[in-house]
Amino acid sequence: MSATEPAQDTPLAAVVRELEAHAAEGGWDQPARLFALVETARLVEQEPALADMGLDDAAREGALTAVEQDPLAPEEPLEQVLEEIMWPPDVAGCAAVVERLVLPPEVDAELPEDPGEATEFARAHPLRQEVRIVAGATRGGTTYCALRLRSHDDDRSVVGGEDLVPGLLELLVGTLQEESI
């Protein structure tokens, strides 16, 4: 995909790509990370000194700024955390960075039903791939993902799209929805 495609020309796509590049600098085998996405213009308005750091130009373009949240507890899976949180109204979106093992679809029938056994099966399977997923969503319903395979660990091989990891995107969108009373 080229950077000029419409799906990648959104503020969300830009911040997801920035987060993927940032995660890549840290290497592999990193814990899951969670980010609040805030409107850069709002940040500059609240903290004018940020304009001196170059954020003023980005604010005019409708950019989003990622604010990393406290580290997740290692024993608590990202998916479980996402089921339990709600963002305050001033958060425009959220993003997550997570590494996972994936198997090709033809292996699905062989997967054990027990989650622990399935994890061990995936770790030992010769067709497994390690992937870093950066997924983001906004309150307006826009979603975007960037994926990097460990076996193709270079910037040119990062794949991006609006719905590459639907289950994770659904969880992220759910954290942004107003609770019904």
CA 68 to centroid of chain Cα atoms: 12
How would you list the strands of the sheet with 159-161, edge to edge? Answer: 64-68, 33-39, 93-102, 129-138, 143-149, 159-161
Mean pLDDT throughout 107-122? 87
Could you tell me which residue, 153 or 50, shows the higher pLDDT? 153
Per-residue pLDDT tens digits for 44-53: 777 766 666 6
Beta bridge partners of 102: 129
Q: Tell whether the model's pLDDT for residue 16 goes beyond 50.
A: yes
Of all residues in the chain, what percent carry a pLDDT higher than 90? Answer: 58
Kindly provide the b/e burial profile for residues 27-36, where b requires at least 16 CB atoms within 10 angstroms of the residue's own CB: eeeeebbbbb
Of all residues in the chain, what percent carry a pLDDT higher than 70? Answer: 86
Question: Would you tell me how many other CB atoms lie within 10 Å of the CB of residue 161?
Answer: 16
Strand intervals (E) in the chain: 33-39, 64-68, 93-102, 129-138, 143-149, 159-161
Q: How confident is the model at residue 97 (pLDDT cuts 50, 70, 90)?
A: very high
Lowest mean pLDDT among 7-21, 47-61, 80-94, 113-127: 47-61
pLDDT value of position 59: 53
Which residue type, as a one-letter code, is found at position 53? M
Cβ 54 vs Cβ 10: under 8 Å: no
Domain segments of the chain as ranges: 6-175
Q: How confident is the model at residue 78 (pLDDT cuts 50, 70, 90)?
A: very high
Mention every residue, 6+ apart, whose C-beta is less than 8 A from residue 169: 135, 137, 143, 145, 163
pTM here is 0.84
